Amino acid sequence: MADPYSVLAPFYERLGLADFGAQVAPRIFDFALRNGWMGRRAADLGCGAGHSSSWLIKHGYLLTCVDQSAAMLARAQDVLANQGFSASQQDIRILNGLNDLDLAFAFGVFNELEAIKDLEQVFQSIYRILRPEKWLIFDMLTIEGLFKRHENHATLLLEDADVNIFAISQVDYDRQAQSLRYIVYQRQGQNWVRQETTRTLRAYPLAAVTALLQRVGFQVLHVLKPNLERFDSAVGGAHAVVIAQKR
């Protein structure tokens, strides 16, 4: 399957794809430290441009940035230049070469997994590489959030003298999925070059996700909103942050 980020990597921040990691991740790490997590070694799974890792690296933690996309790892190396981290290009469902971690985290990643079996495989791999009692932290768009935020539409996401980027969104309610088709026009000399790529996001019932964590061997410690308020399943919400501990 083609890597959509080979097209999107140069525009990652300008498209808002780094916003959660840059703005919210530091608050989540602070919450973890204030609520019992301790450790030194961490892995950013599906690291993207590395913005989620920046806070931990600046505070002296030992970070491995993992991504399947070579283009995104290269972007992370630019963003995190001279800050001291290791990079690993691999599928997060496998996670070879990582052991005895104190923290694994993934922001803006798990909605891109194709099926619930892939999510289970990721949880199993993370369980294997964590030390006992250590934590997994991740966020997910809920089914409500996927459908509320992403209706069928076409949008001009970015426009300047050298690049125009359009996104065409289509929601599949039966599959609980949304496809985002990006059309990129970029100026090269006197010509405009056109590229296309597609990201597919899938939402999973939050209750099924937490049950899967427990089946793998995690204890779910917290389910939060991005503002760190408790996520109330009776009320619902568009976005959840899950914190789980390896038993």
Question: Which DSSP string corresponds to 206-232?
Answer: HHHHHHHHHHHTEEEEEEE-TTSPBP-
Q: Interior CA angle at 16 toward 205 and 225, to 5°?
A: 35
Percent of the chain past pLDDT 70, that is, above it, reads 98
* Residue 154 token pair: 């076409």
pLDDT at 1 over 70: no
pLDDT at 236 over 60: yes
The strand pairing partners of 135, in sequence order, are: 103, 245
pLDDT at 2 over 80: no
Instruction: Work out the average pLDDT over 226-245.
Output: 96
- Least confident span in 5-14, 80-89, 208-217, 221-230: 80-89
Domains of the chain by residue range = 5-144+203-246, 145-202
* CATH superfamily placement of domain 5-144+203-246: Vaccinia Virus protein VP39 (3.40.50.150)
- Name the CATH code of domain 145-202 (choices 3.20.20.100, 3.40.50.300, 2.20.25.110, 1.10.260.40): 2.20.25.110
| CA proximity to 12, closest of 36, 47, 59 | 47
Specify whether the CB–CB gap between 65 and 75 falls below 8 A: no
At residue 221, the pLDDT reads 98
Report the distance separating Cα 224 and Cα 227, nearest Å: 8
Instruction: Work out the average pLDDT over 79-94.
Output: 91
Helix (H, G, I), strand (E, B) or coil at 116: helix
Tens digits of residue pLDDT in 103-148: 999 999 999 999 999 999 999 999 999 999 999 999 999 999 998 7
**pTM for the whole thing?**
0.95
At residue 148, the pLDDT reads 78
Beta-carbon contacts of residue 189 (< 8 Å; ≥ 6 apart): none
| CA proximity to 92, closest of 125, 62, 114 | 125
